[in-house]
Structures are given as structure tokens and as C-alpha cells.
Amino acid sequence: MKGVVFTEFLEMVEDSFSLEIADEMISSSNLESNGVYTTVGTYDHMEMVEMVTQLSKLTGIGIPSLLQAYGELLFTKFAQGYGVFFENVGSSFEMLKQVDNYIHIEVKKLYPEAELPKFDYEEISENQLLMKYTSPRGFGAFAKGLIIGCTTHFEEDIDIEMTDLSDGAGKEVHFLLTKKN
């Protein structure tokens, strides 16, 4: 995973909980990097799993809830830092449908070693979109948070129904998005 995902996560933990919790989370985790990340580095996704697991133990908040909250926050950070992806995009559905076909292609140009999740889309109607997430990392809750962040960014009232097809592993997840109005 790219380092920016780790650096933003650590910032979220410090801001949402405390520097002490962040330090305890890192020190109680078994991390090859020792919890030192650069935004442009590449790190094993298991380090994120380890830190989120430790954060869950320290806070009593479930892992899916932590990943979802982080996804929501990270979308906001992406919107602030990567405005080029938002040019001429007027809705959540427009943005989400370009993740695999545009955004991930551009990410791969910058970071050829990046291992990105796969998204397939099925436009059911003008008001419904089915997103199919596949990743060996199992961050379905994180993907849901990014989707929520997107709908918040575009100020749209969209219901998100998440169905995990991988027996709770979060590796193959379908998101049915339905516009409410």
C-alpha cells in the first residue's frame, strides 16, 4: 500500500484519539517499518491490518467501523489534494464510475508497483449503481467509507447497501447505491 494511506491514517488516529493512543498503537503492533512511513513509500498492507487491530483493542471500536471512518476521511483528503480527478465531475456516480477506468490508471502511471483493488460497475437505473469491489486485502469496510466520503463530498443523499460475498473477509463486496431523491 502507498505510504500516503499510512501517513493519513496516523494523522487521523492522532486527531481523533490522541498522540498517546497513536504511540501505543504503533508500539503494540508488530511492524516491519517500525511505524515510520513516507507518503511516497510502499508498505505491506498487513501493517495497516496490524495497526487497525491494535487501535480497535485500545479504543473498543470495531475494526469495520474504524476502517469505514478512515475511508470517509481519506476521501476528503483526496478531494483536497487531487482536484484534477474532480474536474468536470458533477455527481457521486460519475466519480465512482471513473475509479477503475481513470483514477487507478493514473495511480499506476505514478506508482507501477501499486496493488489496487478492482471495481466493476453495473448501472441498474438512473438512480441505482452496483459497485463490485474485489481485493485480496479485504478492505471492504474501507471502500464503503470512501464511497460515503464521495457521497458527502457531492452532497447527495444515497443509500449504500453493502453485501460481503467473502464470508465476512471483505475481499469481495457488492455495494448497491440508491439515490434517495
- What strand order describes the sheet that includes 118-125? 118-125, 128-134, 172-179, 158-164
The predicted pLDDT at position 102 comes to: 79
Q: Does residue 117 register a pLDDT over 80?
A: yes
Query: Rounded CA gap, 144 and 96, in Å?
Result: 11
C-beta neighbour count of 165 within 10 angstroms: 14
Per CATH, which fold does 68-179 belong to? H-NOX domain (3.90.1520)
Give the C-alpha distances (Å, rounded to integers) separating 61 from 34, 58, 67, 68: 23, 8, 10, 11
Taking residues 133-158, what's their average pLDDT?
A: 95
pTM of the model: 0.92
For residue range 51-86, list pLDDT tens digits in order: 999 999 999 999 999 999 999 999 999 899 888 888
Q: How confident is the model at residue 109 (pLDDT cuts 50, 70, 90)?
A: confident
Going from N- to C-terminal start, the domains of the chain cover: 3-61, 68-179
Taking residues 22-32, what's their average pLDDT?
A: 97
User: How far is Cα of residue 13 from the mean position of the Cα atoms in its chain?
Assistant: 15
